[in-house]
Chain A
């Protein structure tokens, strides 16, 4: 029995720690891959500490978790005291039920319900932004509260009711009696409640996802928004550091406890003093953290310096890793040098156009700059969500190639400045796929490679692959057209290994899958990290998607001129080249593609793919790019997508 339980415990622990060991190992990986280990390196730790935005997200996460834990602990403890005193049966039952609601409601419902309310109330008061740090804090406090209450309440119920009375009898006011006698008695419950609240808040993604607002990005959201690109091993390094910090804290805590026990064996009085000193220290530390947090929050929400709220795709700007330019920081410095005034860029990310649109159109957030894709720009223009730009503030627009002006979504070039462009192509593992099969879209439907094919996990791109294959109009409003595409996708489904976004990196690099369509630039990221027995190749099918992501200013912008200065800065050679190198997408900026150093670094193969010869980009683009579809069609596509997913 004894050995059996030991073995069992071992197996469970292995199960629990297996992924953590993986995190640990891959955080020391040389390559930017989460599945192919290529050698030991401390690179990702270095990168992590250079990544100001990620560190900022860590800081935000901690501020949020500490604040939420403290507030919910104080309020929850008070509430537990109140509930414990309730004698009215119905009141008591009501309070119990209400307290239980956030616990028996899935996160997603709590998140959506709060989001709906914040947005509604925000609109009611005409606030420019209703989602912010504060809404997130409110949401976190709300779902932490029940856990605190449910920890404290039983301790109160177990406590001898005459203890507080005895304290009052001996000269304490009720308040002092509470703090001197009741609080020490229920302290274990309070501490457990606080730790639970802290943990839950730290780990929460779903509720934050729905209630996050301007410029306050927590770690989980940042990670989720990396889904178009890839989750960098920096995150593994971060997780490893967190793991060791926690481990150290726990060991320290254990040591202090053991010491206290050891001492109490000798002299209880000394241990007592030690204990109270330790407690005072703990109170001091907590108080300090609280103070720091509030200062940070005040600084954070301070309106002293100008702020610029930028909303971009995850991993879609050069962030200082690998000795690249930290664009955001560089802009802040450049601005201060040039204008003699401080500016703070709040940089937030989104995972998809639709994600961004959902947040922005709810009216709950306010950003000064967004970088959507073409069809989304068309949609936003349609709904008056963008402001015309003042090109006097953007002299660097001169760098934008003539080819990228007058595109369909902004024919007069009034609202947008192109940031990147690209083409969807097909990549395959030449060690699995016959060269002869590697042509056209048919490769994605080739049943020879059943179980090796990846398909987009977003409806528009996935349907487009079928439509290109069938030579259908990708912008049709005819249901029959979409129905045919669906049939094609359904036929493909048995062959598909996985519907992917960022997972493609792992799967292609490791040879897990062999065929996928994706955005051209990303091919090179995978190529850099491919495993030894993988040989990735790339080609363009005849008809394929051309896309442009462009910078624009949404109508909720608070500081238009500053946003335009930022756009202008992004167009200037240094940041433009840095971003092009970082993102690996093609740049419409002549300062980039005419830069010899940049082109040299790319190499011929990359140039051939990223900057293919074409007669007129505009012509091809206007023919093959996604257009905005009407709501009815979008809704229909969504329904078809669900059908595909449940097939």
Chain B
């Protein structure tokens, strides 16, 4: 695969506050790459660096082998779909899409033809003369994509383009984006804080936190083999426990020794142990490897989400079996359901559900979003 963009040791600070801390990242031709992380992790800044709206304090941005640190946005063969689309309200749909071509003084009939092509691609044929302010969110989104794609950039940058859409529309657009990316063969760099979106669309996911890259990998790798507690917690739900590696394939946590599939740790090395909630089986109390008391049960449609107190540590478990609050149950965990991670600065910060509440989670999500 051909490297298209290379970020080398990028550091960036605003008013002394570091937002990007020595980031290095390769972006390859024809891939759908997602920058994923919570608000303020530096993902948008990374995107703006590639787009040319920011310049790094340290480090280089390499585009197809060339350093483009000082190349202004309008000379970069990179286009952006902005968060709130940034459609020009004084121009109609056709003129918005034609904008880059008009800038390049492309002949009239060629513009006409290309715009029609793009509008067909985003299924907006017939909307040419509509005012952009009269369009729905989804339609505006498509115009923004058509506009960004019309000059055939090497790379398309998308800054949380789906954040403003409702759930159903978002799902449709996810599929559509993927389709467009396949059809055009253009590299997409996609920024989102929605992990589900990232997993479902991307070839490569880059998880970021506090200005650093935590993990780069395919969606499956990221989910199954999180590199640290942060990634494990941010991607999906995880019970993260302190454990000790007794030997290869043997780990002790929660007062029990488990078989596992991981090796290569030092003897008696302290580790973080990840167990996904859906990987835990509920059995009768006496048959369980671990024993605990159910403290809450939430019905979520496909399954129940229950919180189990095991020696004071609250586990989240997703199960289709119904159990009642205050019931004493046993837990059974397969060896391949246990994932061992090296200790990191994030150890102990995540993975305990003792203060868990759906509502609180959403609240804090909303807050951090509005900060942006």
Contacts and interface: CB of A to CB of B under 8 A. Distances in A.
A–B direct touch in complex (beta carbons closer than 8 A)? yes
B103 A172 contact: yes
B103 A176 contact: yes
Contact of A162 (B72, B86, B90): B86
Contacts of B83: 162
B127 to A, nearest CB: 11
A245 B51 CA distance: 52
A619 interface: no
Contact of B100 (A163, A170, A174): A170
Interface string A368-407: 0000000000000000000000000000000000000000
B53 interface: yes
A268 B130 contact: yes
A167 interface: yes
A170 B129 contact: no
B92 A272 contact: yes
A170 B82 contact: no
Contacts of B128: 269
A171 B88 contact: no
Nearest to A164: B86
Contact of B103 (A163, A171, A185, A272): A171
A169 B99 contact: no
Interface SS of chain A: helix, strand, loop or mixed? helix
Contacts of A167: 88, 99
B100 A171 contact: yes
B141 interface: no
Interface string A253-291: 000000000000001110010000000000000000000
Interface stretch (B73-81, B255-263, B281-289, B346-354): B73-81
Given A170-B103, A170-B148, A172-B103, A165 B82 contact: yes
Contact of B73 (A165, A181, A187, A269): A165
Interface string A169-205: 1111110110001001101000000000000000000
Contact residue range for chain B?
A: 20 to 34
Interface centre among B74, B90, B128, B151 (most CB of A within 10 A): B74
A168 B148 CA distance: 11
Nearest to A184: B90
A166 interface: yes
B295 interface: no
A125 to B, nearest CB: 44
Contacts of A170: 74, 79, 99-100, 103, 147-148, 151
Nearest to A174: B72
Contacts of B88: 163, 166-167, 181, 184-185
Nearest to A166: B86
Given A165-B53, A272-B92, A272-B129, A172 B86 contact: no
Contact of B74 (A169, A181, A268): A169
B72 A168 contact: yes
A169 B80 contact: yes
A160 interface: yes
Interface in B120-161: 128-131, 147-148, 151
Interface string B52-91: 1100000000000000000011100011101110111110
B267 interface: no
Contacts of A173: 72, 74
Contacts of A162: 82-84, 86
B168 interface: no
Interface residues of A, number: 23
Contact of B86 (A165, A184, A187): A165
A172 B100 CA distance: 8
Given A172-B74, A272-B129, A163 B86 contact: yes
B104 interface: yes
Contacts of B92: 268, 272
Contacts of A185: 88-90
A165 B144 CA distance: 13
B73 A168 contact: yes
Nearest to A159: B89
Contact of B104 (A169, A171, A177): A171
Nearest to A183: B90
B243 to A, nearest CB: 46
A160 B84 contact: yes
Contacts of A268: 92, 129-131
B103 A166 contact: no
Nearest to B79: A169
Nearest to B97: A170
Contacts of B78: 169
A171 B82 contact: no
A612 B130 CA distance: 85
A187 B74 CA distance: 24
A320 B12 CA distance: 76
A162 B88 CA distance: 10
Contacts of A184: 88, 90
A168 B90 CA distance: 17
Given A176-B103, A268-B92, A166 B74 contact: no
A171 B82 CA distance: 15
Given A162-B82, A184-B90, A268-B92, A168 B74 contact: yes
Contacts of B89: 185
Contacts of B82: 162, 165-166
Contacts of A177: 74
B362 to A, nearest CB: 27
Interface in A297-343: none
B72 to A, nearest CB: 7
A364 B89 CA distance: 51
Given A165-B73, A168-B72, A272-B129, A160 B86 contact: yes
Contacts of A160: 84, 86
Contacts of B151: 170-171
Contacts of B73: 165, 168-169
B88 to A, nearest CB: 6
B129 A269 contact: yes
A169 B52 CA distance: 8
A162 B104 CA distance: 21
A166 B74 CA distance: 9
A166 B91 CA distance: 14
Contacts of A267: 129
Interface in B81-122: 82-84, 86-90, 92, 99-100, 103-104
A271 B303 CA distance: 57
Contacts of B147: 170
Contacts of A176: 103
A71 B205 CA distance: 53
A487 to B, nearest CB: 72
Nearest to A270: B129
Interface in B212-241: none
Contacts of B148: 169-170
A121 B147 CA distance: 56
Contacts of B72: 168, 173-174
Nearest to B89: A185
Contacts of A187: 90
Contacts of A166: 80, 82, 86-88
A163 B78 CA distance: 16
Interface of B: 51-53, 72-74, 78-80, 82-84, 86-90, 92, 99-100, 103-104, 128-131, 147-148, 151
In order of increasing CB-CB distance, the 3 nearest A-B pairs are A166-B86, A162-B86, A184-B90
29 contacts: A160-B84, A162-B82, A162-B86, A163-B86, A165-B51, A165-B80, A166-B80, A167-B99, A168-B72, A169-B52, A169-B74, A169-B148, A170-B99, A170-B151, A171-B103, A172-B74, A172-B103, A174-B72, A174-B74, A181-B88, A184-B88, A187-B90, A268-B92, A268-B129, A268-B130, A268-B131, A269-B128, A269-B129, A272-B129
Given A160-B84, A162-B84, A162-B86, 19 more contacts: A160-B86, A162-B83, A163-B86, A163-B88, A165-B51, A165-B80, A167-B88, A168-B72, A169-B52, A169-B74, A169-B78, A171-B74, A171-B104, A171-B151, A172-B103, A177-B74, A181-B88, A267-B129, A269-B129
